[in-house]
Chain A
């Protein structure tokens, strides 16, 4: 069973760097696709970044090259780094695995499962 456990500092000042980690159990981080989703207070879900070892990374254009994602295969962890944060970066951040196979059946496109528990992040001076 794949499980994701998140941690990271949740209170930042403007211009600081947000660092979040997602510890993965049950599957190798090297063989999966990882997603970071943000949920602003009272709002919906927004995909902000995608990462896999074989395909590299892609992030939402609105983040303007502030977002970096990586994996640590020795620790089986996925990480996110967002520089120069502002109040607009406040929200809950989730990591998730995108997969397209379940119970021996595979499909062309996937879904997000499981999700980490979420890390609330507040950016305030």
Chain B
């Protein structure tokens, strides 16, 4: 299985900040990485697919980038509703998820 390693596992930030979460794949996955947001007690929601394509209805302050083994999710101008846990996922082979990055309010 392809391992996905996210960093940091947790981070704190303030409303208005910009944060970046990194995801590294154990082998090349081309651009087939997706990002999800999960809030407590809720199902994950798709934010970005195929590394950088914003899903319908996702605010433009979210952006994804990367290729092969290095991927990032950046959130500009954090809003209160952005505090959640974020997961990367590769679907290049049997899908696997990163361990999650919990974004908390500072």
Contact = CB atoms under 8 A, between A and B. Distances in A.
Bind each other? yes
Interface in B74-106: 87, 89, 91-92, 94-100
Instruction: Tell me the interface secondary structure of chain B in the complex.
Output: loop
Nearest to A99: B49
Nearest to A35: B95
Interface residues of A, number: 22
A109 B99 contact: no
Classify chain B: how many residues form its interface, as a range.
20 to 34
Interface stretch (B10-18, B19-27, B38-46, B65-73): B38-46
B96 to A, nearest CB: 7
Contacts of A103: 56
B43 A107 contact: no
A2 interface: no
B32 interface: yes
Contacts of B56: 102-103
Interface of A: 35, 44-47, 50, 58, 94, 98, 102-103, 107-113, 115-118
16 contacts: A44-B87, A44-B98, A46-B97, A47-B96, A47-B97, A50-B94, A94-B44, A98-B95, A107-B32, A107-B50, A108-B32, A109-B30, A111-B34, A111-B50, A115-B43, A118-B43
